[in-house]
Amino acid sequence: MGLLGNAVYYTFHPMQLRSILQWKVWHNPPHERNEKNETENQKLCFKFLDKTSRSFSAVIKELHPELLLPICIFYLVLRGLDTIEDDTSIDLKTKEPLLRDFKDILTQDGWNFTGNRPEEKDRELLVQFACVITEFKNMKPEYQAIIKDITDKMGNGMADYCVKAEKDDASVKTIEEYDLYCHYVAGLVGEGLTRLFVEAQFGNPALLKRPRLHKSMGLFLQKTNIIRDIREDFDDDRRFWPKEIWSKHVDNFEDLFKPENLDAALNCGSEMVLNALEHGEECLFYLAGLREQSVFNFCAIPQAMAIATLELCFRNPEIFKRNIKITKGDACDLMHQSTQNLQVLCDTFRRLTRAIHKKNTPKDPNFLKISITCGKIEKFIETIFPSQSAEAAQRKATGELTAAEAKKREEDAENKQDIYFMMALMGTIVAIVAGLMIFTAWMMGARFDLAFKELLNGNFRPPPKQLEHPEL
Amino acid sequence: MAGPQPKRAGANTAGESHVDRAGSAPSVPPPPQISVEEVTRLVKPLNHGHIIGIVSKAAQIHPDINDVIRVMREKEQSRVLSGCSSDAFDDTFEEGEEDEDEDKDERSKNHDPNGLPCITLCFGGYSDVGYDEINSSLIDNIKILTMSDSFSKVLVSGGTGFVGSAIVRALAQKYPDVAIIVIDQSPPRPQHVLPDNISCIQLDITSSEAVINAFRATKPNVVVHTGGLIPGLAERFGRQLEQKTWKTNFEGTQNMLSAAQQTGVIAFVYTSTCCVVTDDTSNPHPNITEEWPSAVRSTIYGESKAAAEALVLNASSSKLATCALRPSVLCGPGDCQLLPPIHACISKYETPFLIGDGLNLWDITHVSNVADAHILAIENLVSTRTAAGESFFIQNNEPITFRDLCLAIWAHFGHIPPIELRIPESLAHFAGLACETVTRVMGTRTTLSRGTVRDACAIRYASGEKAKEILGYEARMGIEEGIRLSCEDYASRLGVKLPAENTTRKIWPM
């Protein structure tokens, strides 16, 4: 969409433009990156961050200085790993050792990799990976240990997946496999970030004791992307939707994209959304355990984007035709809401959950399951932010009033008296005017006495006229 | 062998004093007695050559258990007594430790968190028998046996009704040795099936004389009071049945409670309702807890149940432990309150109309879950009694919107509304008022009223944490399955066949 197209679009969608301007003008980052104190190497790392991550880059840069660089490096390390894994031009014999040994590569000064195909968009990161290694080694040892551990697990997971892809087809069969794949590519990221937050004392240490929570954070994002990217992955000859789900609706995966199977495809898509939504409750639970504002923003923005994307994809035929995205205005609005506090985020979650709920239809085999899952998310939000409390209900039952309520009641009583006075005054005026009108009419010769007498006699209509001469 | 003999005698003496001390606890009843015959019967199936011990706790309760031990020892089936893990028997535990040291045998301990007596068996290290499974199975049998001893006779009022019959069926299935007596005003009904060996007494609980006579004749030690009057949909939000409802629900409960106190009943479970809180339709009730007060403005049903519940909970004492369960809206086999009115909307062409925003959440329960809750309450009141004097919301913990509930039910009967027409709640309110006026003038019945409008737009679900924590309640029947089974039951009662499930759906091979 060009400049003119944009102008036309925003003319008809002023709220979208308002959201964008609101975010650009009024957003106050909790922390801002100080570029003057950065080394050339660090600047290069942030340049790569900008290039490889359109969505996360801005949020990472608003992190607390303690975690800004560690998380930037963590992101780039995983992006490097992912770039190797994604490149189908690298043969397995070369790829597998790279993935499994990537954690050791992080300590090899000057290492780089030039084996990616030229079209691989993040190739340059690996060509200049030495700058990442340098900054990795400059970090606190505690952070290094965490990143190294996650890199090891993820590298092994990716290698296992590549080996499996080489032997038989790479498609996901069961929901368990689906969850495992998402765990390796996203759940582990959640684990690593959680350990970094706790190490920096920005998160509740109890988060480490509930691995399901940070695992859900990662899986929620990854599953959302898999659902949204169904067409793009299909065109690339990849499929991540588990066979256990789509085989209930169609015989072959390709059938999902045929127009005659639209109903089955929509039902299949909604079952995928249902599977992802089951993580929603745990995501909110996790976010309640974060203490620092920039860390909260960092975690909350992707989750809000994810549920908005799920709402967009739910029972939407377009996901099988093209890659659909949230509009920029909606994205800015979501970012604005996600950076306030947990309650505002919960309101957003509730609104989007209800929007999904609204589109649910009894034609869907999973109609009730979707309804139950939406209900559980709403109940969880009600648990942490009750709309009313037992104490308030007790007070109401006993008739006891708080100070504010007592004052409000007094004001209401005064207002009521004012209203009564106004009504009495109006009544008086009406009576006076009516009296004057009747008196004036009488003075001008109106025969009210005759009219009244006729009414008493029961004559409500004027008497019919009698013709004096029939022939006239 | 002369040496160990005095030690065992000492342990027995210490055990006896501990038993006495436990018996004098103010709120915990003394542990029930296990007869020698029962222990023998239970141990007999475990006729492995490697059984080497039996718990001394049983011996302390029954000194005659030594006869069993002697018989087993003569058959070379046991060698020594072993200790148990109960805190109340520390001395015995130490004694057991010494025995263990002497024989260097492995021992398995099973500790019942409710403090019920249990049997611990020891096995030699050379045994290949999975003693965990055997002990686990034995413990389960012991639990059921001691439970049966605790409440050998249960009286269920309202046992021929929807909820009462479900409780009776569940109770008979889990505790086949328990004698169950049903009292109800009406005889057993075909749609509410009762097990064969249940004795029924037909009486009206509003007659205190009839109730006390029934209690004296049957001498129950546990009472489940489910009997009550639920006004139908047409009368629910009016006051026409006020006197009758109050008489049955409150005075009937008063009679039951009085009779229970006079005849030595030890546990009383009252079936209350979530309506004691939620029928105040001027307020929404999202995620409420048991701390919420009873409704200030309520229906006659809610008022009578709230008064009866308060009566029951205040009567809880060391002699008679009471609790109240508050089931949410129920569905299940024999339901005549929830499904029939919703199903009737299909033939009346009312399904497209949606009152309000359609986002109000309800938590519907299947009746089998409520029956489970009653059994858990009985088990609690005859053992730890942590539930005494308490009320509990019982629900599925799967809230869904009222609109979705209706849509799911209609879908099971093959109907999907072609369109959806939204009616603002205020407009529906006036329509209800108009219908009430017409009804009052013409003297006819109508299903539409201000009360039904408020009811359809109400939010009503509870947190459910208290029942989970104290009773250990979990809904075994999910709401999706519950609705399906309820629709199938209602369809069979109507004599119609439900359309087959989506034929295009295939089952993933498991």
Enter the DSSP assignment of B330. Answer: E
Write the DSSP assignment of A4-47 as a string of letters: HHHHHHHHH-HHHHHHHHHHHHH---SS---GGG--HHHHHHHH
- Tally the C-alpha atoms within 13 A of residue A437's C-alpha that lie toward its C-beta: 6
Residue where the block lists tokens 């809880």: B316
Distances (CA, A) of A203 to A170, A193, A301, A377: 37, 10, 17, 23
pLDDT (mean) for B168-172: 89
Q: Which of A326, A373, A333 is nearest to A354 (CA)?
A: A373
From residue B241, give the alpha-carbon distance in Å to each of B208, B235, B254, B338.
21, 7, 19, 20
Question: Judging by DSSP bridges, how do beta strands B361-362 and B400-401 pair with one another?
Answer: antiparallel
The predicted structure's pLDDT at residue A215: 82
Closest CA to B84 of B18, B9, B3, B6: B18
Provide, rounded to the nearest whole percent, the portion of chain A with pLDDT above 70. 90
Backbone angles phi, psi at A464, to 5 degrees: -70, 145
DSSP for B95-115 reads HHHHHHHHHT--B-----TT-
**Beta-carbon separation of B506 and A247 below 8 A:** yes
Query: Which residue segment(s) compose the domain that A431 sits in?
Result: 424-454
Q: What is the pLDDT of residue B156?
A: 92
| Of residues A249, A382, A394, nearest to B287 (C-beta) | A382
Q: Does the active-site annotation cover B175?
A: no
Domain membership flag for residue A2: no
Catalytic pick among B301, B461, B473, B490: B301
Confidence of residue A6 (pLDDT cuts 50, 70, 90): confident
Q: Which of B287, B292, B293 sits opposite A383 (nearest CB)?
A: B287
The pLDDT of residue B114 is 37
Asked if A214 reaches chain B (Cβ–Cβ under 8 Å), the answer is: no
Q: Are residues A194 and A139 in the same domain?
A: yes
Q: Specify the pLDDT at position B144.
A: 55
Query: Which residues of A are catalytic, by number?
Result: 181, 228, 238, 298
Q: Do the Cβ atoms of B504 and A382 come within 8 Å? A: no
User: φ, ψ for residue B280 (rounded to 5)?
Assistant: -80, 85
- Spatial neighbors of A264 by CB under 8 A, at least 6 apart, are A249, A250, A255, A256, B504
**To which residue do tokens 């309450």 refer?**
B377
- pLDDT score for B225: 92
The 10s digit of each residue's pLDDT in B60-79 is: 444 444 555 555 445 444 33
Residue B19: pLDDT band by 50, 70, 90 thresholds? very low
What's the CATH code of the domain at A136? Answer: 1.10.600.10
The verdict on a CB contact (< 8 Å) between B284 and A379 is no
Q: For chain B, which residues make up each domain, given as ranges? A: 138-503
Beta-carbon separation of A386 and B286 below 8 A:
yes
State which H helix or E strand residue B285 sits in.
strand B285-288
Same domain flag for A434 and A385: no
Same-domain check for residues A146 and A34: yes
In chain A, what residues touch B507 (CB-CB under 8 Å)? 248
Residue B454 and residue B278: Cα distance in Å, rounded? Answer: 11
**Tokens 């009985």 belong to residue:** B378
- What pLDDT digit, counting tens, does each position of B360-372 carry? 898 988 999 999 9
Structural domains counted in chain A: 2
Confidence of residue B473 (pLDDT cuts 50, 70, 90): very high
User: Is A129 in the same domain as A235?
Assistant: yes
Whether B399 has a pLDDT exceeding 80, the answer reads: yes
Q: What is the pLDDT of residues A161-199, one digit of tens each?
A: 788 777 666 678 788 789 988 888 888 888 898 888 888
Distances (CA, A) of A161 to A95, A96, A167, A215, B309: 12, 10, 10, 19, 60
For the ranges A363-377, B18-32, B205-219, the lowest mean pLDDT is seen at: B18-32
Q: Which residue of A has its CA nearest to B397?
A: A376
Q: Residue B400 and residue A372: Cβ atoms within 8 Å?
A: yes
- Backbone dihedral angles phi then psi of residue B464, each to the nearest 5 degrees: 80, 5
Instruction: State whether residue A435 sits within 8 Å of chain B by CB.
Output: no
* B400: closest CA of chain A, how far (Å): 5
Distance from CA of B369 to the nearest CA of A (A): 17
Q: Are B259 and B439 in contact (CB under 8 A)?
A: no
In residues, how long is chain B? Answer: 510
| pLDDT, average across residues B486-500 | 83
How many helices and strands in chain A, by DSSP H and E?
A: 25, 0
Q: What mean pLDDT value characterizes chain B? A: 71
Phi, psi of B462 (to 5 degrees): -110, 170
Query: Percentage of chain B surpassing pLDDT 70?
Result: 67
A464 is a domain residue = no
- The secondary structure element, H or E, covering residue B422 is strand B421-423
Q: What's the one-letter identity of residue A40?
A: E
At B214, is the pLDDT very low, low, confident or very high (cuts 50, 70, 90)? very high
3-state secondary structure A36-104: HHCCHHHHHHHHHHHHHCCCHHHHHHCCCHHHHHHHHHHHHHHHHHHHHHHCCCCCHHHHHHHHHCHHH
Of B293, B480, B483, Cβ closest to residue A393: B293
Q: Quote the ipTM score.
A: 0.74
- Give A393's contacts in chain B (Cβ within 8 Å): 283, 292-293
A463 within a domain of the structure (yes/no): no
Architecture in CATH for domain B138-503: 3-Layer(aba) Sandwich (3.40)
How large is the greatest C-alpha to C-alpha distance in chain B, in angstroms?
Answer: 96
| Closest alpha carbon to B368 in B475, B489, B461, B222 | B475
Tens-digit pLDDT profile for residues A392-425? 887 767 776 667 767 777 778 878 778 878 889 8
Neighbour order of strands in the sheet with B285-288 = B285-288, B460-462, B361-362, B400-401
Interchain pair B411, A248: CB under 8 A: no
Average pLDDT over every residue of A273-288: 90
* DSSP letter (8 states) at residue A168: S
The pLDDT assigned to B11 comes to 34
Q: How far is CA A266 from CA A103, A249, A270, A360, B123, in A?
A: 42, 9, 6, 11, 60
Q: Beta-carbon neighbour count of residue B366 at 10 Å?
A: 25
By the 8 A CB rule, do B449 and B436 touch? yes
Contact (Cβ atoms closer than 8 angstroms) between residue B56 and residue B81: yes
Q: What is the C-alpha to C-alpha distance for residues B414 and A298, in angstroms, rounded to an integer?
A: 47
**A260 shares contact with chain B (CB less than 8 Å):** no
Are A149 and A266 in the same domain? yes
Residue B411 confidence (pLDDT): 92
